[in-house]
Structure 1
C-alpha cells in the first residue's frame, strides 16, 4: 500500500526541478505539471512520464488517511482542502478533487515569509483596519484571488504592533505567525475544530481581542461573526464574492428572509472596512492585486440596510467616495497602469467592459502626457 512518503518525495522532486513553481498539478493521463508564472510545464525528470488513475487515487488515499475531516469532505463533496509539510520544510496547500470520476490534486506552495501590508500594496483604509479595536473587516474575492494573503498581512501588522491575543480559524493554516507583540493562536479546521461556527463560539471563551475567520460560508458562522464584532472583538473574515456589493448580498442572503433585516442592520453597524480583490498579471511576470475598497460612510450604511436599487449601487457610492479613502476597481487598475506595473492589454482584460477600459487608459495617458501623433487615444480590446 502506498504511503504519504511517496507523494512527499514526488512533490519534493517536482519542486526541485521547477523551483519557481507556484503550483504542482497531479492529474491522471498527464505528466506532473508545474505552474510557473501562470503557465503549465511538464516535469518528467525523475518522475513518471504519465500519471495513471491508480497513481493519483493511491496518493490521495494516503494523503487523506489520517485527516478524517478532509476525508469526509472529499467523500461528501468530491473535494477537500488541507495543508501538507514536506520533509524539505516546504509547506503546501492541497486540494484533492474528483474529475470524471478520477482523482486529481493541486498543491500550492505557501510562502516561507508572511507578507507585509506594504509588500502587497494594501490600500490605506485596509492597513488602518489592523488598529481597530472592534468591528468587522471583510475581504471579498473569488477562489485564488489572494484573500488569505491579505488577511495574513493584517494579522502580521497586528502581531508587530499590538500586545493582544489573536485567534485564527483557518482551512487550512497557510501562513505561520511567530510570536512577536501578540500571541497568535492558529487553529485548523478538521484538526482543531470541526465547524467555523462552533470554532468561533469557542474562540469567544478563549480571551481573544482579534479573531480571524477563514471564510464565512453559512448562516451560523455569519451570525457568530457579527455577534463577536458587536461585542468588542475585531473580526477579520473572507467572503466568496467578486465585489463589495456582492459581499453584502452574500452575507445577507445567508439568513432567512425574516432575519435579513437584522443581519443587514448588524453588518451596517459593525463594518469597519470591506475590500474586494482580484489578481492581475504584472509586466515582470508576477501578479498583483486590484482592489475595491468600501468605507462605512452614512450612505454606505444606509444602503447596506436598505439594499441597492437601479438608481443607486455600491459601485457608484465607491466611485464617489474618494474623499473618504474609497477605491474602485477602475481607479486601482489606473494606478497600476500609471505606475507601469501592468499593461494596457491587462487593463482591457480586467476592466468591466470596453468603455471602462477606454476611460482608464485615456485618463492614464492624459495624466502621463501620452497621446499618439494625432492627439487621440486608440485602443483595441478583445473580450472572450
Structure 2
C-alpha cells in the first residue's frame, strides 16, 4: 500500500522549494546523499516521478504538483500543533523543534497515535503488528525527545494528556493529507481507488447518504466508504483531525475559528408523523389540541430535532405533550408508532420509506419555523481527495432528486 511519511513530505517540500537537492540538504540539515535517497525511496513507493531532473536543478512533475499542496497542509497542521507548546519547551528541547518541523520517525508517530486511539499498550501493539515493548520504547523516546508528557500512566491504564491528545489531532490531520495525496496520484494514473469517511447525521441517514453511496459505487466500485455516527461534537472533532472527510446533515455554522466550510444542499423542516391508520389521518384539519390527545415519541433533549420542536411550542405558546417516550432510534420509533397511536415530530426524509410502504403518514400540520438547512461540512482551506469530491458530487445530485419529490 502506498504511504507518504511525514519526514519524507518535509524533505520533498524542501527539494521543491529549493529546486535543487543541494539547497534542500542545507535546509533540512542532511547530506545530499540522504536527501537524494529519501526522494528516490518516495518515488519508488508511489511508483511515479515527482521531479524532472536537469543539470540546472529539479522541477515538479504533475505528480509532484499534486503532492505539494497536501504536503503544505500537513506542514500547516504541525505548525498549528506547535502553537500548543510553550516557547520555553521549544527552546530547551531540540527534539521538540525537530518534531514540529516534521523531522520525526514515522515509527514513533504510529506508536503514539495507536496508543492515543486504543488507550492500551498491548492493544496498540496488536493493531500495529509489533511487540508491546516496541510501542513502549517508541513512546518513551518520543516523550524524552519532546520534553513533553504525552501520557499519564496508572497501574491499569495509559491515559493521554490534554496536550497529547491535541497534538495527536494535528498529527492525524497531517497524515490524512498524505493519504489523500496517494489517492490523487493513483487517480492521475487512471486507477480509481480511495476511501471516503462520512460523518452522518439523522436528517440524512435514511435516504440521502445511502442513495449517494449507491450511485457513487455503481460507477466506481473500487472505492471504499466508511460511515460514522455519534454526537455532533464528536463528529466535528473527527472532521477537524482528518478521521472524517465530510459531514452530511443539518448545518450548524462554520465554527468560531472559521475552520469548517459548509455547502447547503436542501432545506428541510419537521413534520408530524403517525401510523398510516391513525385516527388523526381522517381529519382534514388537525389542531394542536387534537395532537395533545395522544402520547408522543420525541428525540432526546439537546438534539436538533428536539430543539426545533420546543421552538415551535415556545413561538406558538402551545402546551407541551405529556407522557413522552424519548428515543433517537428510527428503528424504535417505527415500532412505537406502528404499534400504537403515538405521535412524533421528525423530518419526512427520515421516514420516507415507511411512508412509501404505507406504514407511516404525515399529518397536515405545517411547521415552517422548523426550517433547517441540510448540507455538507468539510475542513476549510483543505484539498479533498478525488474520492471525496466524487462523493460530494453525488450528494449534490441526490439533493436535486430529493427537492423534486418532497
For normalisation by structure 2, the TM-score amounts to 0.26
Larger-Rg structure? 2
More helix as a share of residues = 2
More strand as a share of residues = 1
